[in-house]
Amino acid sequence: MFKSLYPNFEVDSAYEIDFDALYRKGIRGIIFDIDNTLVPHGAPADERAMKLFERLKEIGFETVLLSNNKEPRVKMFNDSVHSKYIFKAGKPGKAGYERAMELMGTTTETTVFVGDQLFTDVWGANKAGIVSYLTKPIHPKEEIQIVLKRILEKVVLFFYHRRLNKVSKRRTDNLEEI
């Protein structure tokens, strides 16, 4: 029922993803949400974000910031990380994700998406056929419409985690048969 909202991977933070391993697996482009994925909502890029983008460039990745925010917000963050970006992206529509891949010269097979919201970030990435990473929000202070979505996200994540536990149990049961 909620499968189109399920992330491929769930991590505590965008900063803990093993980007070297992704590169070895053939990933060449990373699309990032900004607010509450890389920095608190509305904050400029901090030292950690700047170092991450430097490191990604050293590894060989192309990056795009994909945000539903207006350009001044996205540009303020981007001035410090120097990535390509798309503002007013229309997430969860897949057009923004497709445009991001165009900008990076990547495909659905060579791109991943990293974001903190199921109903915009993950759902859009899934519709576009891109592997999705769901991060925990960096900061609890959010706009009211996002706070309301977080309540619904808890319901979806409950079923997602229940499904993961069933799959894990089946794998364990099958191992015991061997």
Q: Per residue, what are the HEC states of 95-109?
A: HHHHHHHHHHCCCHH
Query: What is the rounded CA–CA span in Å between residue 115 and residue 126?
Result: 12
25 vs 165, residue with greater confidence: 25
Quickly tell me which residue has 């445009």 as its tokens.
99
Kind plus residue range of the DSSP H or E element containing 29: strand 29-32
pLDDT at residue 142 is higher than 80? no
- pTM, two decimals, is 0.82
Q: Where are the alpha helices (DSSP H) in the chain?
A: 19-24, 47-59, 71-81, 95-104, 123-128, 144-177
pLDDT at 119: 85
- pLDDT reported for residue 162: 77
Confidence (pLDDT) at 160: 76
pLDDT (tens digit per residue) in 9-65: 999 999 999 999 999 999 999 999 999 999 998 999 999 999 999 999 999 999 999
The pLDDT score that the predictor gives to residue 178 is 37
pLDDT of residue 145: 67
> CA 29: distance to chain centroid?
12
Taking the C-alpha atoms of residue 78 and residue 21, their distance in angstroms, rounded to an integer, is 25
Residue 1 has what pLDDT? 57
- How much is the mean pLDDT over the chain? 88
- pLDDT tens string 58-76: 999 999 999 999 999 999 9
Q: What is the pLDDT of residue 172?
A: 40
